[in-house]
Chains A and B, each alone.
Chain A
Amino acid sequence: MSGWRLTLRQPPAVRVDLRSVLPAALAGLSAAQIEQLPVGHGNVLVPLGEFFTIEANEKDDALVFEGDLSRFDRVGWQMAGGCITVDGPAGHYAGGCMSGGELRVKGHVGLLAACEMAGGQLTVEGDAGDFAASTLPGSVDGMRGGTLIVKGNAGERFGDRMRRGTALVFGNVGDFAASRMVAGSIGIGGQAGAHVGYGMRRGSVVFTAAAPTIATTFVPALVEVQVFWQLLAKDLARHGGPFARLPSRAIERHLGDLASDGRGELIVAR
């Protein structure tokens, strides 16, 4: 199997939906067939070849997009395997509902990145917009597996309703990070906005740089949880950056949100 390199011709007039362009869907197709794949462009379907020049990439199995894809939504949507690289920014819903494989975006991503993600890994080299690692509007559960890594900053409602998986931000996050979180692990390498863990039931939020403002509905923990912390810290340390030294750092924990189930924890590394 060989990969494909899709180079943007020019930015589209309206937003394009790339949900059908996945490594599995492209396997076995010729360049001419791929050019004919219909993709949503506004309210019409347009052949993929209108937007991209398509060439086979013998060296690599990955599907590579080149150019500014900030008007292209749902890159890697429901991806179950394979590898996609975006050599530039991507639009909204990047890696949404993906269950396997690897998606790497070398620029910024829009809203709802990795929303309802169940497996695989999304790495964003730039910033992520609001509602990353969260839930689709109206849905009960957010991210439920896999790994999201944002090397820049993330917007508001990061990890909203998240229930499993790992979501890390190397930089800052906006307000309401980990709001309504059900379970899972979130790591924040920079500053967090207001109302961290608002309504969280379970789950762990790790702060490596600065303690956030902690609501009065959280209580300080008396007990050290060295076993659990070493298991979690070693796992997060694999991702490097602000998380690399976590296993050797002591922690303070705050338990809550008592307005909900109250079994969540905000972990501040000292």
Chain B
Amino acid sequence: MIENGVAIDDSFAEAFPMKATRLVITAHNLTWALNAAVSATGFATSVIACGCEAGIERELSADETPDGRPGVSVLIFSMSGKELAKQVERRVGQCVLTCPTTAVFAGIAEGEAIALGKNLRFFGDGWQISKVINGVRYWRIPVMDGEFVAQETTAVVKCVGGGNLLLLCRDTDAALAVSEAAVAAMKALPNVIMPFPGGVVRSGSKVGSKYATLSASTNDAFCPSLYGLVAKSEITPETRCVMEIVIDGLTEADVGAAMRAGMLAGIALGAAGGLLRISAGNYGGKLGPFHFHLRKLLAAGAPT
């Protein structure tokens, strides 16, 4: 299958069930809401060592937030509800509570509740005040710029993590341009984040390693520096730079829609823009229950 000179592999991305929550962080202005959100979603590229995968979903205008101030919605994904609760507490406690003028609210109402302000309230040293407004409990914690307001709990939902695209490009300039365009198209969609730096990961991995202690190692088949050295390489003299985009979403449909939007953005640049082939990472289909077939995704939205 060739689209605008781009070969679409007959392959699929394999994704896994995860647990997620959405937080709404507001502040006196968007700058400070972003400062808190960027900090709270920092060092959250992969669950392998970060404990969670997190990112900014979108910016919110004043009329979209509970307190009528500008805000940012943030999605946090983890492998279990327990780990997610731990990450939310640490990140909100260290990065939102500390950030000037912020407040934090649950961005998802339905689902199992985990603590948001429930334990952070003890920072108030007895001066904290609980307030139930329209059935929702908030905590008001005195801080040096006034008070930090945090909703007591946020809800956890089942979600999908690990959707991905491999973009095989002509060279570094093309690979960056294509992946930036794909990430921008995906960011326009709700309910998804691309957790890696700038949404893009260059160190795609394969399962296993020659070292017994490592469960994953560099995806040598896609490493241009190993062209001609490894037994089976996906690299050709034309495709010398590969980028991967990893997508976590609240539902299977959200991840599929984001992958499709990313593919279409890449195809729009096409072979002329340096994108020669789109593939996806999987483990033979045995590990993850969610399979995103690239050709089916493209066909699903095609005009009939």
Query: Which residues of A are at the interface with B, using a C-beta cutoff of 8 A?
Result: 164-165, 183-185, 202, 204, 223-228, 230-232, 234-235, 247, 263
Q: Is the CB of A263 within 8 A of B129?
A: yes
Q: What are the residues of chain A within 8 A of B131 when measuring CB–CB?
A: 183, 185, 204, 228, 231-232
B59 at the interface (CB under 8 A from A): no
Number of interface residues of B (CB under 8 A): 18
Give complex CA distance A230, B62 in Å. 12
Q: Are B66 and A231 in contact (CB under 8 A)?
A: yes
Report the Cα distance A249→B215, complex, angstroms. Answer: 59
Expressed in whole angstroms, the minimum distance between the Cβ of B111 and any Cβ of chain A is 22
Q: Within the complex, which residue of A223, A225, A226, A232 is in contact with B133, where a contact is CB–CB below 8 Å?
A: A232
* Pair B129/A231 contact, Cβ less than 8 Å: no
In contact, B127 and A231 (Cβ under 8 angstroms): no
Which residues of chain B from 58 to 87 have any CB-CB distance to chain A below 8 Å in the complex? 66-69
Q: Is the interface of A mostly helix, strand, loop or mixed?
A: mixed
Interchain nearest-CB distance for A76 vs B (Å): 20
CB pair A225–B146 under 8 Å, yes or no, is: yes
B244-261: which have CB < 8 Å to A? Answer: none
Given A183-B130, A263-B127, 9 more A-B residue pairs with CB atoms under 8 Å apart are: A204-B131, A227-B103, A227-B147, A231-B66, A231-B67, A231-B138, A235-B133, A247-B68, A263-B129
How far apart are the CA atoms of A230 and B149 in the complex, in Å? Answer: 11
Interface residues of B (CB under 8 A from A): 26, 66-69, 103, 127, 129-134, 138, 140, 146-147, 149
Whether B68 lies near A225 (C-beta < 8 A) is no
Inside 8 A of A231's CB, which chain B residues have their CB? Answer: 66-67, 131, 133, 138, 149
Q: What A residues does B69 contact at CB under 8 A?
A: 226-227, 230
Known A-B contacts A202-B129, A247-B68, A263-B129; the reply to A228 vs B134 at CB < 8 A is no
- Interfacial chain A residues near B147, Cβ < 8 Å: 223, 225, 227-228
A231-B138, A231-B149 given as contacts; is B67 within 8 A of A226 (CB)?
yes
Q: Mind listing 16 A-B residue pairs with CB under 8 Å?
A: A183-B130, A184-B132, A185-B131, A185-B133, A224-B146, A225-B140, A225-B146, A226-B69, A227-B67, A230-B68, A231-B66, A231-B131, A231-B149, A232-B131, A232-B133, A263-B129
The 5 residue pairs across chains A and B that have the minimum distance between CB atoms: A227-B149, A227-B103, A230-B67, A227-B67, A223-B146
Partner of B132 from A164, A223, A226, A230 at Cβ < 8 Å: A164
State how many angstroms separate the Cβ of A206 from the closest Cβ of chain B. 12
B132 to chain A, nearest CB (A): 6
A44 to B140, CA, bound (A): 52
Residues of B within 8 A of A232 (CB): 131, 133
A227 contact set on B, CB distance < 8 A: 26, 67, 69, 103, 147, 149
Closest residue of B by beta carbon distance from A247: B68
Nearest-CB residue, chain A, relative to B127: A263
Q: Which of A184, A224, A231 has the most CB of B within 10 A?
A: A231
A residues less than 8 Å from B103 (CB atoms): 227
User: Is A228 a contact partner of B68 (Cβ separation < 8 A)?
Assistant: no
Please indicate which of the listed interface residues B103, B129, B130 has the most CB atoms of chain A within 10 Å of its own CB. Answer: B129
Scoring A165, A225, A227 by chain B CB atoms within 10 A of each residue's CB, the highest score goes to A227
Cα of A81 to Cα of B259 in the assembled complex, Å: 48
Q: How far is the CB of A158 from chain B (nearest CB, A)?
A: 19
Contacts of A263 in B (CB 8 A): 127, 129
Q: Is the CB of A228 within 8 A of B132?
A: no
Most chain B CB neighbours (cut-off 10 Å) among A183, A204, A228? A228
A185 to B132, CA, bound (A): 9
Chain A residue nearest to B137 in the complex (CB): A164
Give A233's nearest chain B residue, CB to CB. Answer: B68
In the complex, the chain A residue whose C-beta lies closest to that of B148 is A227
Q: Which residues of A contact B67 (CB under 8 A)?
A: 226-227, 230-231
Interface centre among B127, B131, B138, B147 (most CB of A within 10 A): B131
CA distance A231 to B132 in the complex (A): 10
- Report chain B residues within 8 Å CB of A230: 66-69
Q: How distant is the Cα of A180 from the Cα of B129 in the complex, in angstroms?
A: 17
A44 to B67, CA, bound (A): 55
